[in-house]
Structure formats: C-alpha cells, structure tokens
Amino acid sequence: MLSALIFDVDGTLADTETAHCAAFNAAFAQMGLDWHWDRDTYQRLLAVSGGVERMAQFWRETDPEAASSPGAEATLRALHQAKTRFYTGSTSGSAASGPLALRPGVLRLMREARASGLRLAIATTTTPANIAALLQPHLGAQWERWFDAIGDGHSAPVKKPHPQVYTQVLSRLGLDARSVIAFEDSANGLRAATAAGLATVVTPTAWTRHDGFAGALAVLPSLGEPDVSSPELCVDVARLRRWHASFWRDSAAPARRRAPLIQSQLEPELL
Ligand code: XBP
Ligand code: MG
C-alpha cells in the first residue's frame, strides 16, 4: 500500500538550475576567478551531483595541477559558501525577482497527499540552506513540518546516483521502499531512487529532458494543474495509487518494468 511520497528538490520541486548556475558564476566573479559556466557547460556538468563535486570536476578538467594542490579543498569550500549565499539570496524572494516558483502541480499534490494521509519526505543532494530558501516563501516559516524526513547534501554526503540519501530517508520514515513513490527530474536522481528500490515518477526540466529514464514509473512534463494540463497529464493521489499498484503487480515481469507505465510526449512548451 502507498504510504509516502519522497520528493527530490532541484528540478523536481522547482526549476532551480538556472538560478544555481547564476550563483556559481557570481561566486566565481566574487572570488576573482576567470571561470564562467555557460548553459552548455553547466548542462554537461549537471551530470555531477553536488555543487562542490561539480566545481571540482570542472577544475580537474581545466587545471588538474591546481585542482589537486593542498589548498584546493579550502578554495572549493569557500567558493561553495559564496555560491550558496548568492543562491539563497536569489531564491528566497529577498531579491527583486521574488521567490522562485514551484513547478506546476507540486503544491497541489503535496496538499492533497497530506489530506489523504500520505507522509511526505525530501531526498536531495543540495545544501540544506537551499531547501529552506526555496520552500519557506511557499510553505511558511514552519515548512519543515510538511515533511516527516529530510535527507540532503549534508546528511547524505555520497551524492546521487548513489542511493544513500534515499535509503537514509526510508530508514528515517521507517518504511519499506515498496510503500513509497519518489519524484525526480534527472537520470542521476532516477538511478538513485531506483537503486533504493523505489517506483519513481520523473518530471524532467529543459536541463534534464535529454537524460535517459528507463525504469521510471512515469515520465511527464510536470505534475500538472487541472486548469492547464490535459487530464491524463495531471497527477493526483488516486492516479498515484493506481500506478503504484500496477508497478508492483507488474514487477514480476521485469521486462515491462523497464518501460515507463506512462511516457508522455514531453512537449517543449510544457517544460
Ligand atoms: C541537484 C544538485 C545540486 C544542485 C546545486 O540536487 O545536484 O548539487 O545542482 O546545489 P537535487 P548545491 O538532488 O535536489 O536534484 O550547490 O547545494 O549542491
Ligand atoms: Mg533534481
């Protein structure tokens, strides 16, 4: 029986990677580095989960000697602290642009899930401060009370596609993977959730729409909003319960599990 929903943050709750990329570039400039990540570079580096790990990868590519020097780790930590200040400032609504919007259907489904007695949790590789900056404007100062468990880049330092953050959250929930659905946006996230044994709904963004999503429970442009999405693309608790039941009923047929139950046409305008 379905008991809980576990949400990834970046790309799933909100389309955040444009803001992350801008924050990285602002930190590089503030620290006097001539690094600048354009869209193509950042899209390629997104294959590496974790901001510190992502910068380390870029540094190894561009200056392997400096990247392995004794002070490199301290430099990366300072860079990441600066980046997090820029990101939380741009996301939380304190910037003129206002708070970063949640993706279609996220708040609706979380409200409906809680009203239906389902428990909610978060499993992300991002920095804890980023979660608060994103969710506080939408869920209020007590935003953490929405979630029975939160796994993040600090509590689970081994990043996706490793399943560490999902196994940690399942353990904190005291639930078996078969009673939970995960929500992700990327191939790394799908692989992490699948490795932890979870049926996973994928809602890619423009940053991740070219990833591979074999083994997903469903691949959709978003969780949908009744007034703007066609009915079959609107995810509600009743639909999730049906998908979850058929996913585990069909699990005896491994070949069928490789093809998502729902593979909608990811229309660019919907992403
Ligand atoms: C996506 C990530 C994060 C963000 C940047 O996290 O891989 O690294 O891109 O955030 P999610 P940090 O698991 O929520 O999709 O710089 O804090 O890592
Ligand atoms: Mg993500």
119-141: per-residue pLDDT in tens?
999 999 999 999 999 999 999 99
Number of the ligand closest to the Cα of 126: 1
- Could you give phi then psi for residue 89, rounded to 5 degrees? -65, -35
**What mean pLDDT do residues 37-47 have?**
98
Residue 211, phi then psi, degrees to nearest 5: -70, 165
Say what the pLDDT of residue 228 is.
83
C-alpha 232 to ligand 2 mean position (Å): 23
* Rounded Cα gap, residues 186 and 183, in angstroms: 10
Residue owning the nearest CA to atom 10 of ligand 1 = 126
State the pLDDT at residue 94.
Answer: 65
Look at residue 96 in the predicted model and tell me its pLDDT. Answer: 65
Per-residue pLDDT band for 261 (boundaries 50, 70, 90) equals low
pLDDT number for residue 90: 87
Residue among 136, 135, 26, 23 nearest 84 (CA) = 23
**3-state DSSP of the chain:** CCCEEEECCECCCECCHHHHHHHHHHHHHHCCCCCCCCHHHHHHHCCCCCHHHHHHHHHHHHCHHHHCCCCHHHHHHHHHHHHHHHHHHHHECCCCCCECCCCCCHHHHHHHHHHCCCEEEEECCCCHHHHHHHHHHHHCCCHHHHCCEEECCCCCCCCCCCCHHHHHHHHHHCCCHHHEEEEECCHHHHHHHHHCCCEEEECCCCCCCCCCCCCCCEECCCCCCCCCCCHHHCCCHHHHHHHHHHHHHHHHCHHHHHCCCEECCCCHHHC
Give tens-digit pLDDT for 64-74: 999 999 999 99
In the prediction, which pLDDT does 233 show? 83
Q: Which residues contact 151 (CB under 8 A, 6 or more apart)?
A: 121, 122, 123, 124, 165, 166, 168, 169, 172
In this predicted structure, what is the pLDDT of residue 252?
Answer: 58
- For the question of residue 10 being annotated catalytic, the response is yes
Distance 253 CA to ligand 2 centre (A): 28
pLDDT band (50, 70, 90) for residue 260? low
In the chain, what percentage of residues exceed pLDDT 70? 91
38 is an active site residue: no
Mean pLDDT of the chain: 92
Residue 110: predicted pLDDT: 98
- From the CA of 50, how far away is ligand 2's center (Å)? 10
Assess whether pLDDT exceeds 80 at residue 38. yes
| Ligand 1 nearest atom to the CA of residue 125, by list position | 13
Ligand in closest contact with the CA of 185: 2
91 pairs with which residues across the strands? Answer: none
For residue 154, how many other CB atoms are within 10 A of its CB?
11
Ligand 1 atom nearest to CA at 12: 15
Mean per-residue pLDDT for 192-213? 96
pLDDT tens for 216-252 read 999 999 999 998 888 778 999 999 999 999 888 876 5
Q: Compute the distance from residue 65 Cα to the ligand 2 centre, in Å.
A: 31
Residues with CB under 6 A from ligand 1: 8-11, 17, 20, 49-51, 124-127, 130, 153, 160, 189
Query: Which residue has the CA at smallest separation from atom 8 of ligand 1?
Result: 50
